[in-house]
């Protein structure tokens, strides 16, 4: 079988791994010890993990987060989620075709009493908010139990290879997400009063104020906290379009998990839907991993993410089509192409604007929903409950870090500890970090061209200040009281000493240097570069791009180097004419040919699009019931089973609500579905304490 492992990466180390063998449909193939079944299958080019029992449609990975069952396989005779189960030597793995049969039990197993314990503070979620709260409480000596369903702490930080925005003083701005996760984890482990359970999932909050958790994914335990802090982050929104369940249609988190955690290439040609920060960043991660990005569509007239993220894709050679939407994913057993169209002011596709592009994967990044079920249940059942990070409000990870710090102090106060109240300045900083992008201004022409001139291609108000902290002479200015201001250069061409720290350290890679000292007519431009697909060398020819992705010409590379402070960012020196040099913002990475549309488009059938992935319920079925007068989610469940599948209605609920609105039914006329535990499906033997919860 083919090898789809990432062998080189500009940011991530490629560790040596122990090679083991396992069997897929009785065929022996190899895996890396310690990786998940899904990673091992993807590394061998396997995308279809089974077929649905209802219509035999192909099933593949979607969330890579254990919250659905699209990736189910049969491993050593048991149905398991391949994204959560680790591969083992000689494991026999088969696709889950239809409804799996459970193994027969000849003798009643031994059952044990469920363990109960009480804790002062329970933190659910070991991402940026949960870690920061635990650290704050750890400093104060509070006894804390922190649980997380992954094998390591950090949440989505462990998938982020880019430098973070925000405040250098408050939230590690200028540091890569993967490194922030390590810093927070190392800090937390200093505090012996904080107990950490990884591979542990919160399953439900109950009316007797106990929280059911599955420790090590095996042993069921009931935890009774005095205070609970919910920091479970967010889940990705689903999108209804024809072919939306084909293998190869991923959530952005799943894609980043496969690429940046598992180090496998889930695509050769990727198409992105959604121009928020998540989609824009995932596109950059794809390029770093050697994956072609065919294009990106955004339904709004402009991308909602940071302009510097959009500009990075532009100048790498990725076309961004705003006021466009996806109509269909096309293919038989997996994605083979995508069809998109322009939309009008009401976001309706405009007939005659359809285009199709060849691709093998589609990344869906159309927003996030807070994972706040435990918070709502905690409040309902009288547990003193706090919420932070994306579970409270969708924002950047830097905001989640700081909100966790605030909640930690608030929890300490709620416990009656003699500690200082949260300073008002913290709340102010928190609000700034949660800010949406502000105004953009056009790039200004340099007033004079001599000496060495930093060119700041960051022209949008966003919360970010590392560039002002990096300049040793303080020549880049950002308002200290409000880091959302656009950076400006204070000096003149002779003040810059060409340390290039701003070039290498800008989180948006949005600063270049133009050096006129050696040749005023052919100055040298310092450009940040984070790719190894084609390692650049002196005398190579590259295509220079401006901020908007316009080609400026082909120029010779003078040198490629790094500086001690570069943190894996290379600096490429190219020479260009005086009138062009200040406009150079980056180097084209991929050829335009990858983004050319097909000579015909593939038609879509709207009412056949799947709304409920788990139970294969279509939009047409739901529309029919709405038109018959159905207004209660629970009634729709009984007829179609929509919302009754493995994900517990996490992906289909927002889509069905949207269908009600499209049919002219206001939200206040719709009865929402009853929210019940469990958060995710669990074998019954775990609740019974079978064999002490062990196999």
Q: What is the mean pLDDT of residues 492-507?
A: 86
Q: Pairing mode, if any, of strands 269-273 and 361-364?
A: parallel
Q: Which residues of 304-332 are buried (b: 16+ CB within 10 A; e: fewer)?
A: bbbbbbbbbbbbbbbbbbbbbbbbbbbbe
Within 31-82, residue ranges assigned H as helices are 37-43
* Residues facing residue 386 across a β-bridge: 229
Q: What token pair was written down for 105?
A: 């039990």
Q: Is the dihedral of CA 152, 153, 156, 158 positive or negative?
A: negative
Round the average pLDDT of the chain to a whole number and report it: 92
Residue 113: burial class (beta carbons within 10 Å; 0-12, 13-18, 19+): exposed
| Residue 634 CB coordination number (10 Å) | 12
Q: Is the dihedral of CA 279, 281, 285, 291 positive or negative?
A: positive
Closest CA to 651 of 622, 682, 612, 680: 612
Instruction: Report the run of H or E that residue 185 belongs to, with start and end.
Output: helix 177-188
* 533, pLDDT greater than 70: no
Q: What token pair was written down for 483?
A: 């880091």
* 694, pLDDT greater than 60: no
Q: What token pair was written down for 634?
A: 């629970």
Closest CA to 514 of 471, 588, 451, 565: 451
End-to-end CA distance of the chain: 32
- The Cα 509–Cα 291 span in angstroms is 20
- The Cα 297–Cα 436 span in angstroms is 20
pLDDT at 534: 59
Q: What is the mean pLDDT of residues 643-667?
A: 88
Q: What token pair was written down for 138?
A: 């750890």
CB 9 within 8 A of CB 60: no
pLDDT at 658: 87
User: What are the tens digits of pLDDT across the range 314-326?
Assistant: 999 999 999 999 9
Strands (E), 63-107: 72-75, 78-81, 92-97
- The Cα 77–Cα 94 span in angstroms is 9
Q: What is the mean pLDDT of residues 262-271?
A: 96
* 375, pLDDT greater than 50: yes
Q: What is the mean pLDDT of residues 454-479?
A: 93
- The Cα 489–Cα 475 span in angstroms is 6
- The Cα 475–Cα 469 span in angstroms is 10
31-35, 81-85, 260-264, 492-496: least confidently modelled range: 492-496
Residue 662: burial class (beta carbons within 10 Å; 0-12, 13-18, 19+): exposed
pLDDT at 604: 62
* 273, pLDDT greater than 70: yes
Q: What is the mean pLDDT of residues 660-665?
A: 91
CB 398 within 8 A of CB 132: no
Token match 């609740």: residue?
A: 687
pLDDT at 294: 98
**502 phi/psi in degrees, rounded to 5:** -70, -35
Instruction: Enumerate domains of the chain plus CATH numbers.
Output: 1-100 (3.10.20.440), 115-234+370-433 (3.50.50.60), 246-366 (3.50.50.60), 452-594 (no CATH), 607-669 (1.10.10.1100)
User: What are the tens digits of pLDDT across the range 589-641?
Assistant: 998 899 999 888 776 656 678 989 889 999 899 999 999 999 999 999 999 99
DSSP-derived secondary structure letter, 389: G
Q: What is the mean pLDDT of residues 276-301?
A: 96
What Å distances lie between residue 626 and 542, 606, 636, CA to CA? 57, 16, 9
Q: What token pair was written down for 151?
A: 């094998």
| Residue 426 CB coordination number (10 Å) | 16
Q: How far is CA 138 from the centre of its chain?
A: 28
391: left (phi over 0), alpha (psi -120 to 50) or beta: alpha
Q: Pairing mode, if any, of strands 269-273 and 488-489?
A: unpaired
* 649, pLDDT greater than 70: yes
- The Cα 572–Cα 503 span in angstroms is 10
Q: Which long-range contacts (CB under 8 A, 24 or more apart) does 420-427 make?
A: 426/402
Identify the band that residue 76 occupies on the pLDDT scale cut at 50, 70 and 90.
very high
């Amino acid at each position: 079988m083919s090898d789809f492992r990432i062998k080189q990466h500009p940011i991530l180390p490629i560790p040596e791994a122990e090679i083991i063998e396992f069997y897929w449909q009785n065929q022996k193939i190899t895996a890396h010890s310690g990786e998940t079944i899904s990673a091992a299958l993807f590394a061998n080019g396997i995308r279809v993990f089974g077929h649905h029992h209802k219509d035999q449609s192909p099933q593949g990975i979607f969330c890579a987060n254990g919250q659905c069952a699209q990736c189910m396989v049969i491993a050593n005779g048991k149905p398991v989620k391949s994204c959560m189960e680790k591969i083992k030597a000689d494991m026999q793995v088969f696709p889950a075709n239809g409804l799996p049969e459970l193994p027969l039990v000849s003798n009643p197993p031994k059952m044990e009493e469920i363990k109960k314990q009480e804790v002062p503070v329970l933190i659910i979620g070991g991402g940026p908010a949960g870690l920061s709260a635990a650290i704050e409480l750890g400093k104060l000596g509070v006894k804390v139990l922190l649980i997380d369903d992954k094998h390591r702490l950090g949440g989505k930080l462990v998938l982020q290879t880019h430098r973070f925005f925000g405040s250098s003083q408050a939230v590690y701005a200028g540091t890569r997400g993967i490194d922030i996760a390590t810093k927070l984890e190392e800090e937390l482990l200093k505090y012996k009063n904080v107990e950490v359970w990884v591979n542990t999932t919160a399953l439900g909050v109950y009316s007797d104020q106990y929280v059911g958790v599955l420790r090590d994914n095996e042993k069921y335990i009931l935890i009774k906290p005095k205070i609970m802090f919910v920091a479970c982050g967010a889940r990705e929104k689903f999108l209804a379009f024809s072919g939306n369940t084909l293998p190869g249609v991923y959530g952005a988190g799943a894609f980043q998990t496969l690429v940046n955690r598992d180090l496998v290439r889930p695509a050769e040609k990727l198409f992105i839907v959604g121009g928020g920060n998540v989609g824009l960043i995932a596109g950059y991660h794809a390029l770093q991993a050697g994956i072609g990005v065919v294009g990106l569509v955004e339904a709004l007239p402009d991308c909602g993410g940071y302009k510097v993220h959009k500009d990075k894709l532009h100048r790498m050679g990725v076309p961004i089509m705003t006021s466009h939407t996806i109509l269909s994913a096309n293919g038989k057993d997996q994605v083979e192409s995508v069809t998109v169209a322009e939309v009008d002011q009401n976001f309706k596709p405009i007939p005659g604007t359809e285009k199709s592009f060849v691709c093998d994967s589609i990344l869906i990044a159309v927003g996030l929903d807070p994972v706040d079920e435990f918070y709502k249940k905690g409040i309902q059942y009288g547990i003193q409950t706090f919420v932070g990070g994306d579970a409270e409000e969708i924002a950047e990870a830097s905001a989640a870090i700081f909100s966790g710090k605030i909640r930690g102090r608030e929890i300490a106060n709620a416990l009656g500890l003699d500690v200082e109240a949260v300073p008002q300045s913290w709340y102010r900083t928190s609000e700034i970090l949660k800010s949406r992008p502000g105004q953009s201004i056009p790039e200004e022409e340099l007033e004079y061209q001599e000496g060495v001139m930093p060119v700041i291609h960051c022209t949008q108000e966003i919360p970010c200040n590392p560039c002002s902290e990096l300049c040793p002479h303080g020549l880049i200015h950002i308002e200290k009281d409000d880091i959302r201001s656009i950076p400006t250069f204070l000096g003149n061409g002779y003040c810059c000493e060409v340390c290039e720290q701003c070039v290498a350290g800008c989180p948006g890679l949005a600063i270049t240097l133009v050096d006129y000292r050696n040749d005023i007519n052919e100055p040298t431009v310092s450009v940040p570069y984070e790719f190894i697909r084609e390692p650049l060398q002196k005398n190579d020819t590259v295509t220079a791009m401006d901020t908007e992705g316009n080609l400026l010409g082909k120029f010779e590379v003078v040198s490629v180097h790094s500086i001690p402070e570069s943190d894996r960012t290379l600096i490429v020196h190219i020479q260009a004419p005086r009138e062009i040099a200040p406009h150079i913002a980056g180097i084209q990475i991929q050829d335009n040919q990858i983004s050319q549309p097909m000579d015909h488009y593939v038609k879509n059938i709207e009412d056949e699009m799947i709304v409920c992935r788990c139970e294969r319920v279509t939009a047409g079925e739901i529309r029919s019931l709405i038109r018959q007068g159905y207004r209660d989610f629970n009634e729709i469940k009984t007829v179609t089973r929509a919302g009754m599948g493995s994900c517990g209605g996490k992906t289909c609920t927002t889509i069905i609500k949207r269908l009600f609105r499209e049919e002219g039914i206001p939200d206040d006329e719709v009865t929402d579905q009853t929210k019940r535990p469990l958060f995710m499906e669990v074998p019954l033997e775990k609740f019974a304490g079978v064999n002490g919860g062990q196999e």
